[in-house]
A and B are shown apart, each in its own frame.
Chain A
Amino acid sequence: MSAFSAIGEEREIDSNEFTPGIEPQATWCPGCGDFGVLKALKQAMPDVGRTPDEVLMVTGIGCSGKLSSYFESYGFHTLHGRSLPIARAAKLANPGLEVIAAGGDGDGYGIGGNHFMHTARENHDMTYIVFNNEIFGLTKGQTSPTSPKGHKSKTQPSGSAKDPVRPLSLALASGASYIARTAAVNPNQAKEIIKEAIEHDGFAHIDFLTQCPTWNKDARQYVPYVDIQDSDDYDFDTHDRREAADMMFEAENALHEGQVLTGRFYVDDERPSYQQEKQATGEMPEEPLAERYFDEDYQWERVADSLLDRHK
């Protein structure tokens, strides 16, 4: 057995393997969009051919952060907004891992906004799912970065004076190389998009619309949705950055007018991942760094052998 024998194992994978002995009903409300993410994710895994032992699920805090509890794999339930820096270092340490990060809109676009921008910019090879329900749920219904302007809550009783964050445009401007939006009410599309995102070699951002039936009362808030790839009304080239930007702009405007446009918005297959860039500059080893600690034949170099002469 090698140190990480789970990585690269080839066998039939059943989506039930990703169900742990603990059920999400424990904390998620009935009708919560988070169930849709979990289901789509589990269903995508057999298609991407990854076993629970080779997946690292890194989550933030909030209802969305509990995805790492309800999805069976290696997991890291981190801090509010901090899933990305932890996830990307794990990927650098062991590129063989399938690293998926997840969190909510407050988590990812608010407190973790800086990390989102920089992780996208660096184009780390990983998937980032943001559960976007336009509300702070677990803290009981405060205005979030994606809540529409004028949204009233206990902390903004007269209505929010802020324009909401535009997650897709933000991801594009930051440099994400795969950007999509899907919705919990559209499980088939969600599964396809998750699969594509995982298989994409670079930073894949999914703005995942998840209804919050408890604090954002309209549980059907993302219905009806439109799949832009299936519609004749939206013809644009997902590989063209400018056309994608226009389409995102339209989709983000439309969302708050009640029109839910979902699908792939931008795909850049050409851009090398951060790992490839870093290996090209000679600042990252070709072999997974983590493997070295299990390799009994590896000769660990002492500083005395190469660094001390300059001090003489």
Chain B
Amino acid sequence: MTKDLVWRIAGGSGDGIDSTSQNFAKALMRAGLHVFTHRHYPSRIRGGHTYVEVRASADPVNSRGNGYNFLLALGDSFARNPKENAIYGNEEIKPLTENLNELNEGGIIVYDEGLVDISEVPNFEERVEENNWHVYPMDLRSLAREHGREVMRNTAGVGVTAALLDIELEYIEDLMRSAMRGDVLEANLAILQEAYDIVSEEEFTHDLRVPTGDHDEDQLLISASACIAYAALDEGCRFISGYPMTPWTEVFTIMSQNLPKFGGISEQVEDEIAAAALAIGASHAGVKAMSGSSGGGFALMGEPLGLAEMTETPVVLIEAMRAGPSTGMPTKPEQSDLESILYSSQGDSNRIVFAPGNAAEAYDQTRQAFRIAYDYQIPSIIVIDQKISGEMVNVDESFFDREPNPSLGTVLSEEEIAEAAHHESGKFKRFLHDTENGVSPRTIPGQKGGRFLAAGNEHSEEGHISEDPVNRIKQMARRAQKLEAIRDDLDSQDGSHQTTFGPEDAEYGIITWGSQQGAVMDAVSELNDAGHSVKGLGVSDLMPFPKKDLAAFLESVDKAIVVEMNATGQFRGLARKELGLYGEKMSSLLRFDGNPFIPRNIVEAFEETIVEGKDDVSNEHTKFLPEAGVTQ
């Protein structure tokens, strides 16, 4: 028996690795397990090294874990590169050469003899022996061809996996029945059964069974991208505009597929400037609207973002980060757009920024982002990244059992407009100076008597362009005042937005933000299990910055490590700027090689910097670098 199963399926992009792994993850969830998936893929349509991990455990799971213990190496059916031209050896054997470094001791290897020639894998036999791996060669390709088509070798691989792990086929068969029909279904069922039967007859030298439970029908397998889309729909968002870019495309696609069913509109447009501008135009005209992009596309949105701030037009933007600068590594995660998200656009500009730490938080914070945007007439940004956008995790269905909130916020009815302040010219005072929390009431074009000009230039109360110094100061002060009101609003809610974990009175702290939260959570558990005294803080609010929460956390610990995926410690820099104090308490653990942290990285860094005092936790950054030549 094992506490944790981490199953990795590897092959070429376009070989169905993603859909197969999603179905398998769902099957494990139906078998009563908690699941978590992690995707790794290249920026190309077909072929190239790709894998998906599915972690499954009887206990809730927060991250991909440390390494994995089951490799299903399907081979890359699109491999075409001649051996001498390929960068990492032979494409055909990449599913083995690229993956073995992280396979834990005692793990299982199933490889497709039909596509992978084991004799080409360097030192394979020795490594198997050294690591006590259990190897099951299977001719999955022939098996698939015999009953159907070659592409069905995924199914054969899943059948083999089920047999080796002693998982009942019924969960997988049910999923197949709901997704396929006719000959395709029959062929897949036959392949699944035969693969299962062949392996079942073998004598196993391993035991990687995970204690399964009852099928909990309330569990959902869901990604942060889906949670963002669903939160937007529950907030009454009925307009989205975008331009495809990885990994933002996932939110955009889910919205586009569902909006028409909810009577909404999705627009794929010419570029990201237009995308953000359309969302602003729709919002101005009285519809809850969103847009979004990834690094390079978001760079174009800086201009309309500033316009939304200046005209106080509510809008929600998603920034799904990937490695930069420039086009960077399109399919690899990074958290290096933080500063551009906080400060892009000209002038002293404000916006609201949330960075959810998991799928459930993505739902919560997207709802919050809409509420704040419309109540306070300010753009909100949800920051996710390539990691969290597509990883699947199980969440209770009851979590989504909430009421919709279609409120446009501070919009007046025509009766209220008639009573409201107007300029002598007849124009409604849309940007009224004197308000309680900086928020002036809003009208929507088409409402009688509510005429105003929304101007990207500095403007008077009724919206006319104005360079009057007194008006300027009043308008700037009022817009800035909203940020303080929003901080009070967020602080006044039940519980903190920031996620805390580990013992409250711990001696040391680990701080992170956004998608790395799960790995830090697991690392904190491991460290406390090993006898250390550590607690963690996952920060979600980036603007307005949660000064109180962070100061209290830093006050309570001797030293803290800030864990983030970028090369310059952007969050640590932000925290030092916002807090002034405590800078000397924070050191950085940085990773920017295109792969997210695994808990072990954090545990090791903690032991080196805090326990062994290699670095005296001064202002030096501790940078995590993978072993030379290792790709993960």
Chain A residues engaging chain B, CB cutoff 8 angstroms: 1-7, 9, 20-22, 52-54, 56, 58, 61, 66, 68-69, 72-79, 82, 85-94, 96-97, 114-115, 117-118, 278, 282-285, 289-290, 292-294, 298, 300-304, 306-308, 311-312
Q: What sequence of 0s and 1s flags, for each residue 219-255 of chain B, a beta carbon within 8 Å of any chain A beta carbon?
A: 1111000100010011010110100000000000000
Complex formed: what's the CA distance from A1 to B450 in Å? 14
* A89 and B424 form a contact (CB under 8 A): no
- Evaluate contact between B220 and A308: CB separation under 8 angstroms: yes
Query: With A and B bound together, what is the CA distance between A201 and B456 in angstroms?
Result: 29
B238: chain A residues at CB < 8 Å are 289, 292
CA distance A212 to B41 in the complex (A): 56
Q: Are A308 and B397 in contact (CB under 8 A)?
A: yes
Is A76's CB under 8 angstroms from B284's CB?
A: yes
For A308, what are the chain B residues with a Cβ–Cβ distance below 8 Å?
220, 230, 397, 400
Given contacts A74-B446, A289-B282, A312-B221, 10 further A-B pairs with CB under 8 A are A21-B423, A75-B453, A76-B455, A78-B307, A89-B267, A89-B277, A90-B284, A115-B270, A302-B402, A311-B222
Q: How far is the CA of A284 from the CA of B445 in the complex (A)?
A: 20
The answer to whether A293 touches B284, judged by C-beta atoms less than 8 angstroms apart, is no
Q: Which residues of B contact A115 (CB under 8 A)?
A: 270, 274
**Interface status of B61 (Cβ within 8 A of chain A):** no
CB distance from B273 to the nearest CB of A (A): 7
**For residue A92, which residue of chain B has the nearest CB?**
B265
Partner of A1, one of B217, B269, B414, B451: B414
Question: Which of B287, B406, B424, B445 is packed against the most chain A CB atoms within 10 Å?
Answer: B445
> Quick one: closest A residue to B414, CB to CB?
A1
In the bound complex, CA of A292 to CA of B239 (Å): 13
CB distance A53 to B258 under 8 Å? no
Count residues on chain B whose CB falls below 8 Å from chain A CBs: 80
Q: Which of B221, B234, B266 has the most CB of A within 10 A?
A: B234
Are A89 and B285 within 8 A (Cβ)?
yes
Q: A53-B451, A303-B400, A304-B401 are in contact. Are A88 and B287 (CB under 8 A)?
A: no
Q: How far is the CA of A52 from the CA of B406 in the complex (A)?
A: 28
Q: How near does chain B come to A15, taking the closest CB pair, in angstroms? A: 15
What distance in Å separates the Cβ of A296 from its nearest Cβ neighbour in chain B? 10
Which residues, 418 to 437 on B, are CB-close (under 8 Å) to A? 423-427
Interfacial chain B residues near A72, Cβ < 8 Å = 425-427, 451
User: Are B414 and A3 touching (Cβ within 8 A)?
Assistant: yes
Chain A residues with CB under 8 A of B304: 79, 82
* Chain B hits for A9, CB < 8 A: 448
Question: Cβ of A278 and Cβ of B265 under 8 Å apart?
Answer: yes
Contact B402 A73 (CB under 8 A): no
**Chain A contacts for B274, CB-based, 8 A:** 82, 85, 114-115, 118
The answer on a CB contact under 8 Å between A82 and B446 is: no
Q: Which residues of B have CB within 8 Å of A7?
A: 446
Footprint of A on B, CB under 8 Å? 26, 217, 219-222, 226, 230, 233-234, 236, 238-239, 241, 258-267, 269-271, 273-275, 277-282, 284-289, 303-304, 307, 311, 397, 400-404, 406, 408, 411, 413-415, 423-427, 444-457, 463-465
> Which residues from B are CB-within-8-Å of A86?
277-278, 280-281, 284
Q: Nearest chain-B residue to A295 (Cβ)?
A: B406
Residues of A within 8 A of B446 (CB): 3-4, 6-7, 53-54, 56, 74, 94, 96-97, 290
Q: Closest residue to A74 on the B side, CB-wise? A: B445
- Known A77-B455, A92-B282, A93-B281; judge A53-B450 contact (CB<8 A): yes
A55 nearest in chain B by CB position: B445
Q: Contacts A87-B281, A90-B285, A306-B261 given: A77-B453 contact, CB under 8 Å? A: yes
CB of B221 within 8 A of CB of A78, answer no
- Flag if A56 contacts B287 (CB, 8 Å): no
A291 and B127 CA atoms in complex are apart in Å by 67
Q: Which residues on the A side are within 8 Å of B303 (C-beta)?
A: 79, 82
Which B residues touch A298, using CB under 8 A? 406
Residue of A nearest to B264 (CB): A289
| Residues of chain B with a CB closer than 8 A to A54's CB | 445-446
Please determine whether B281 and A76 come into contact, CB atoms closer than 8 angstroms: yes
Most buried by B among A52, A91, A283: A283
Give me 13 A-to-B residue pairs in the complex whose CB atoms sit less than 8 angstroms apart, sorted by A's number.
A20-B426, A76-B311, A76-B454, A82-B277, A85-B278, A86-B278, A118-B270, A289-B238, A289-B239, A292-B406, A300-B236, A301-B262, A312-B221
Query: Does the CB pair B281–A303 fall under 8 Å?
Result: no
Question: By the criterion CB–CB under 8 Å, are B287 and A289 in contact?
Answer: yes
8 interchain residue pairs of minimum CB distance: A21-B425, A89-B281, A290-B286, A4-B446, A86-B281, A93-B285, A74-B445, A85-B277
**Shortest distance between the CB of A247 and any CB in chain B (Å):** 28
Q: Which of A1, A2, A75, A303 contacts B234 (CB under 8 A)?
A: A303
The CA-CA distance from A18 to B82 in the complex, in Å, is 72
The smallest C-beta distance from A150 to any residue of chain B, in angstroms, reads: 32
Q: How far is the CA of A305 from the CA of B544 in the complex (A)?
A: 34
Contact B288 A74 (CB under 8 A): no
* Total number of residue pairs linking A and B with CB closer than 8 Å: 233
Most buried by A among B277, B427, B446: B446
Smallest beta-carbon distance B242→chain A, Å = 12
Q: With A and B bound together, what is the CA distance between A301 and B282 in angstroms?
A: 20
Q: Report chain B residues within 8 Å CB of A94.
A: 285-287, 444-446
Q: How far is the CB of B365 from chain A (nearest CB, A)?
A: 16
Q: Which residues of A contact B411 (CB under 8 A)?
A: 293
Nearest chain B CB to A304 CB, angstrom units = 5
In angstroms, Cα B403 to Cα A78, docked, is 35
- Once A115-B274, A289-B265 are accepted as A-B contacts, the answer to whether A77 and B465 lie under 8 Å apart by CB is yes
B423: chain A residues within 8 A (beta carbon): 21
Q: Are B425 and A89 in contact (CB under 8 A)?
A: no
Task: From B275, B282, B456, give the contact of A90 (CB < 8 A).
Answer: B282
Chain B proximity of A290: nearest CB distance (Å): 3
Contacts of A6 in B (CB 8 A): 446-449
In this complex, what residue of A is CB-closest to B263? A285
Q: Is the CB of B286 within 8 A of A304?
A: no
Q: Given A4-B447, A94-B445, A278-B265, are A89 and B280 also a contact pair (CB < 8 Å)? A: yes
Contact B403 A302 (CB under 8 A): yes
| Cross-chain contact B239 with A293 (CB below 8 angstroms) | no
CA–CA, A298 and B428, complex, Å: 28
Residues B425 and A20 in contact, CB atoms below 8 Å apart? yes
Contacts of B448 in A (CB 8 A): 1, 5-6, 9, 53
A87 to chain B: which residues have CB within 8 Å?
281
A89-B239 CB under 8 A given contacts A4-B444, A303-B230: yes
Is there contact, CB below 8 Å, between A290 and B222? no
Inter-chain CA distance A119–B275, complex, in Å, is 13
The residue in A69, A79, A312 that gathers the most chain B C-beta atoms within 10 A of its C-beta is A312
Minimal Cβ-Cβ distance residue in B for A60? B456
**Contact A311–B280 (Cβ < 8 Å):** no
Q: Contact between A92 and B222 (Cβ–Cβ < 8 Å)?
A: no
Residues of A within 8 A of B221 (CB): 311-312
- CB distance A76 to B453 under 8 Å? yes
Asked if residues A93 and B282 are in contact (CB atoms below 8 Å), the reply is: yes
Cβ B280 vs Cβ A69 within 8 A: no
A contact residues around B239 at 8 Å (CB): 89, 92-93, 289
Contact partners of A53 in chain B: CB under 8 A: 445-451
Contact B456 A77 (CB under 8 A): yes
| Min CB gap A39→B, angstroms | 19
Contact B464 A118 (CB under 8 A): no
A76-B454, A78-B307, A306-B261 as given contacts; A118 in contact with B285, CB under 8 Å: no
Please determine whether A1 and B415 come into contact, CB atoms closer than 8 angstroms: yes
| Bound Cα distance from A94 to B446, whole angstroms | 9
Question: How distant is B55 from chain A, measured CB to nearest CB, in Å?
Answer: 18
Quote the shortest CB–CB distance from A310 to chain B (angstroms). 9
| A85/B273 in contact, CB under 8 A | yes
B284 neighbours in A (Cβ, 8 Å): 76, 86, 90
How far apart are the CA atoms of A305 and B266 in the complex, in Å? 21
In the complex, A4→B451 CA distance in Å?
12
- In angstroms, how far is the closest chain A Cβ from the Cβ of B305? 11
Q: How far is the CB of A24 from chain B (nearest CB, A)?
A: 12
A108: min CB distance to chain B, Å: 14
